[in-house]
């Protein structure tokens, strides 16, 4: 199993949690089942917020070698609707910082209705918010 891929899916899950979504299916999970393919495309996460569903995918560096495949994948997944109520399903796309600009240009090539249903965000490890000891200004309370 590719640990980078697992880390990317974990960071994608964190993004869903920040938005309030409940994870229903996820890749590389211990307790949750893996999502099935949607059409011919693999997805990493399927989540739910009240009555709204969302699909999550991560795009790696190898995925960006074929831009037409990415555009087809993004447009297909962004146009999905729920079966019963025909509500649009939100698509979350996680990319590395190196590919973020390229992904934005690919999104600009899609039609506006499809583009509106896609949320693009960078997948990066968050730096620790703890301030290093040598950078902290120490105040002596008692001497």
Is 91 contained in some domain? yes
Is 130 contained in some domain? no
Distance (Å) of CA 123 to CA 67, 131, 138: 19, 23, 34
**How many folded domains does the chain comprise?**
1
Is 115 contained in some domain? yes
Q: What is the pLDDT of residues 29-62, one digit of tens each?
A: 888 888 888 888 889 999 999 888 999 998 888 8
Q: What integer pLDDT is reported at residue 47 of this predicted model?
A: 92
Is 107 contained in some domain? yes
Domain of 103, CATH number, reads 3.40.1350
Q: What is the pLDDT of residues 16-31, one digit of tens each?
A: 898 899 999 988 888 8
Is 38 contained in some domain? yes
Is 129 contained in some domain? no
Predicted TM-score (pTM) of this structure: 0.79
């Amino acid at each position: 199993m590719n640990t980078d891929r697992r880390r990317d899916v974990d960071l994608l899950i964190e993004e869903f949690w920040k938005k309030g979504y409940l994870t229903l299916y996820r890749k590389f999970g211990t307790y949750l089942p893996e999502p099935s393919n949607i059409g011919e495309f693999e997805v990493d996460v399927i989540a739910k917020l009240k009555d709204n569903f969302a699909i999550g995918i991560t795009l790696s560096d190898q995925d960006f070698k074929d831009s037409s495949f990415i555009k087809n994948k993004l447009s297909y997944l962004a146009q999905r609707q729920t079966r019963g109520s025909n509500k649009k399903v939100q698509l979350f796309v996680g990319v590395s910082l190196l590919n973020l600009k390229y992904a934005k240009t690919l999104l600009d090539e899609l039609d506006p209705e499809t583009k509106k249903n896609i949320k693009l965000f960078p997948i990066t490890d968050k730096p620790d918010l703890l301030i290093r000891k040598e950078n902290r200004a120490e105040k002596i309370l008692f001497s």
